Structure 1
Amino acid sequence: MTSPTTSTPAESTAGSFRHMSLASVGGQNLSLIVALGVVLVLFGSLNENYLSWTNMQVIAEAATITGLLAVVQTVVIICGGLDISVGSQAGLASVISAMAFTSAGANPGVGIIAAIGVGAVVGIINGFIIVYGRVNPTIATLAGLAAYKGVAQLLSNGRAQGFVLNDPIFVFLGRGKIVGLPVMIWILIVAAIAVHILLKYTDIGRNIYAIGGNDTAARLAGISINKYLIAVYALIGMVAAIAGILLTARTGSGQPVSGSEGLELKAITAAALGGCALKGGKGGIGGTLLAVALLGALENGLTVQGINTFWQNVAQGTLLVAAVVIQQRRSGERAVGLPA
């Protein structure tokens, strides 16, 4: 008869430490941290300049626009929705900001306010179509992806509009620094903190999780689901507009397509990799930002190594599928088409 095994104090301490680490960081986030570390070490060993402070800033700055869109994509996914049109919204806002800037006699305030206003209107339109048209969010925003891109191209005749590099405000947004960090990165940090506080520490955030987790129970609890959905999509529109303004500031002109195409895939991939359940009710800003960093580091590493940029799309698609597969396995749901 074997005697029961007992753990030593050292083993108990190690087990407690692992448990506390997982509890504080989260298994999903810990996996992302490990993956990010692997990517940094791999490309750092291949190119001595990859891990330089300058290149780290390049990675962070390049990922800022994706990060902004991923943060609000996280909110809408938690709420049980999806927005595939964020890239087109950013492109439309970019064009509007530059055209309004030029029309108002090089007034940056007019350009910025006009872009954010258009972003809010576009977001509300998406929300109304989904809520009162009873259209699936994926279909509604897929239509918006094409429509808003078309509007941006019609307004600009498919060409870059305006020139903002002579304006100090746009130059500051696109190239300025505060305490050694680019302004664009600070904008992402502020937006991420604000949304994190909204989700985790307010009744609004708790209601958003409740709607995504079980909309029927949320409705019976007295939560106005329609108002929340419209407000969430309006928020997406405004943040997408800010991303479009930063795109204008970076490139020096309003871009109807260039720079914004494909942003929706990156934003959704980052949210899914960060732990958002695509059925709603689960997710957080911390995981999303880690996923944005991972995608940015991977994209920059492939570029530095001179690998065909088409492989970046392959990598993004693969990561999105992997994230969804992992979610399905963890949820314990029956695979589609297979016996229980």
Structure 2
Amino acid sequence: MKKPWLLLAVVCCLLGAFPAHAQDEVWPSKPIRVIVPTPPGGAYDRTMRPLAQELASLLKQPVVIDNKPGAGNIIGAQAGATAAPDGYTLTMTGMVNTIAQGLYDNVPFNIVNDFAHVAMIGGGAQWLVVNSQSGIESFADLIARAKREPGAINYASSGAGSTGHLVMELLQKATHTSFVHIPYKGGAAALMDVLGGQVAVTVIPLSGSMPYIQSGKLKVLAVSSPKRSPELPQVPTFEELGYKQLTVISWVGLSAPKKTRPEVVRKVNEAVREAMTRPEVQKKLDAEGITPMTMTSDEFTRVVKSDTERWGALTRSLQLKAN
């Protein structure tokens, strides 16, 4: 009588293990949610929606956008970090998260340690621009004037701790100059005052400045990308000008909760890389000034760690907090 009971116990154990094994094999078997930590219609949202359509086609499941804006992208990222690590919640992360890690006290997650960083989407450069009527004709001219008149030149940013602000802080350190920071509540307001001549200088993405560059209202002095941009090939990089430390790419990517299975991370990474080859996705990325950046999950993780250390060191040196 002992053997039939033993056989029955073995069968029950196998049956109990089967559903979990089957679930592993068939991922994804239900819709995938992507948390976008900004409002609908914003740059993150505009970038993710065409990519989500292609991912849905490749993964054979709906990919649903869940906008969770607020607190400098912290609210959405926290929701993503604390979601179940089952492969059905992804979060758009960006360089802004690596800045926020040092900019705010008590961030409720660690951008390096609380995520499995799945796939880089792409990144965009920052552009150092001046009002065309400012009399500043080149990067060398700007630096020479700043050294002659320390503290006499104002620059606008979208706020303390923004990418534009931190690039200008790096510039001042690298060139041993002193500018006056004028923070605004958003990039649009900052740009309008540069166009109006109230402020001379700002650092902004190309997508927000191109119409004014083409019309001659703004002059571009330098770009933060490693190589010159095909859109404006006449503009030198900071590295060409002798300031490699000003090379900055504002990136966005997809991350998952930390304990997401490696095979799921691999499948999403492969799908994202495939989706970014599709013409419709490339067109949308171009419109946002984003260059596709193909990386493995490990390479992406190294970028997150490096940027967190870089911006943390800068914000600490400035004693900069946004609480």
Which TM-score bucket, shorter chain as reference? under 0.3
* Higher percent of residues as strand: 2
* Higher percent of residues as helix: 1
Give TM-score, length-normalised by structure 2. 0.24
Give the greater-gyration-radius structure (CA): 2
